[in-house]
Structure 1
Amino acid sequence: MTTNEDVLLREVDEDLNQEKQLAFLRRYGPWLAGVGVAVVIGVGVLQYMSHAEDRAIARSAERYAAAVEETEQNPIVGAEALAQVSTELDGGYEVLADIRTANLYLAGDEKTKALDKLAEVYDDNGVPVHWRDLARLRAAMVQLETNPSQASLLANDVSTPAFAPYAREVEALAAMAVEDYETAYNRFLALSGDAEVPPSLATRARMVLPVVDAGRKGVALEPTQTEAESFISDFSRQLAAEQAAEAEESEDAETNGSE
């Protein structure tokens, strides 16, 4: 069964496949050129293969793949191994390793470690903005229940257009969590009527609106602990899946734009 982590990091498999292809070309490129196949490969790829930086990225891809395989065999041990490997990777794989490590920590109920790892990503000015924003959004989701004020602050710092609607949703939920129903209502209302937000998000906003409206009118909203946990769990799963899709589209667009 596909997990949120698998969906979130689907693009990694594509990246690894590309790096493996490049490793093959590096090894057999001269021979292929000798028999005239270099015409098919293209000048751009041959130039790309010649750079030491790209060779370093290929090595990072191999190390990353090995570390990920270890996490699949033993998630607890693998999380620590992946965290260590992330400090030695290049080419964006260090960021992917950090985000995957945070997910593994969360799966093992090690929330503090997960938040620390996500903070390493979003506090690093050298990391691409969309990855930093994804880390912020993940951290905000984690803190919705226990620290809604911090969740709101993190969500407010998200600037990537693809993630902005989800950040607004987190802010609305954070306001709801601290019983600021007026603010929550206005935010959900804006989301429900915004043609620019994903349809599923607008639908969720419309579903929550009557509840928030009752709260701002003085109706006591006291769901059972089980209901509250179920709502947060369902919301987190759905939001994580949607974020993953947006992250993949953003990464694909960036890759296509650089070609």
Structure 2
Amino acid sequence: MADIFREVDEELQQERAATLWKKYGGWVIALCVGIVLAVAGNVFWREYKANQRAEQAAAYAEASALLGQEKPREAAEAFAALADSGDAGYAAIARLSQAAALVDADDIPAAAETYMAIANDSSVPAPYGDLARLHGVRLRIGTANAPTLHSDLAPLLTPGNAWEPLARETEAAISIQEGDIDAARESLKLIADNPETPGQLRQRASELLQALGG
């Protein structure tokens, strides 16, 4: 009889956690996409000012304008063309923008594939490659198998990595999806107990922990 109650309790915990993840997951993805675009714009214009790459600057501006016109599919294609033809110095930025545009176009499989291609490109600077990896894993939660997702996420789970707190949260989400509540609690506790974790992320982790009975 005790086993039955424990199973029911685990199911309720998973249901509460899933509800919270639905509440905050979209916000997290939107935040990360915003970070991508902000970083892309900042790096691009710094590069442009230094090298006066006017033609490529115009191409990037045109692709960005398509986003403003609510044409994310066309914008993704324009960013992809720029990444293929532009200098290596900011090809990765164009790819990140392409992937973000694909998310806006609701083409999640293509966006995830693009993000993971960036992540696995050794020529991409670590902060951008790591951010792409985080996106690529998050977008595949619920479609890819859990061991693959854990393996893809592993490089971000090292102390000092800029994206470690969000990677820990992602790790917890993967564990929830596969029904490993103990592992999810462990990941969330690492977030909540870390004084360097941003406040909003610590709050989310604490709420998820509470939902999981942690």
Residue by residue, what CA displacement relative to the aligned partner does 1:228-248 show, whole Å, maximum 9, x if unpaired? xxxxxxxxxxxxxxxxxxxxx
Distance 1:212 1:12, change over 3 A: same
Give the partner amino acid of 2:57: A
User: C-alpha deviations, 1:176-195, integer Å up to 9, x for none?
Assistant: 11110111112212221111
Cα distance in structure 2, aligned partners of 1:128 and 1:15: 12
Give the TM-score normalised by structure 1.
Answer: 0.61
Specify the alignment match of 1:151 in structure 2.
149
The 5 A counterparts of 1:90-109 are 90-109=87-106
Match of 1:9 in 2: 37
Structure 1 gaps of 5+ residues are 23-53, 215-259
Deviation at 1:78, TM superposition (A): 2.3
CA contact (8 A) 1:64 1:93 kept: no
Counterpart of 1:61? Answer: 57
Query: What is the percentage of aligned positions where both structures have the same residue?
Result: 24
Give CA deviations for 1:36-65 in whole Å, capped at 9, x if unaligned.
xxxxxxxxxxxxxxxxxx35x554333222
For 1:164, the aligned partner's letter is E
For residues 69 and 115 of structure 1, do their structure 2 counterparts lie closer, same or farther at Cα, with a shift above 3 Å needed? same
Gaps of 5+ in 2: 1-29
If asked which structure has higher relative contact order (CA below 8 Å, sep 6+), I would say 2
Change (3 A) 1:20 1:78: same
> 1:12–1:85: structure 2 CA closer, same or farther, 3 Å change rule?
same
Q: Relative to structure 1, is the Cα distance of residues 58 and 212 closer, same or farther in structure 2, using a 3 angstrom cutoff?
A: same
Aligned counterpart, 1:232: none
Q: Is the partner of 1:90 in helix, strand or coil?
A: coil
Alignment size in residue pairs: 180
**Cα distance in structure 1, aligned partners of 2:169 and 2:34:** 23
Map of 1:10-29 to 2, 5 A cutoff?
10-18=38-46, 21=49
Taking structure 2 as the reference length, what is the TM-score of the superposition?
A: 0.73
Structural RMSD (CA): 2.4
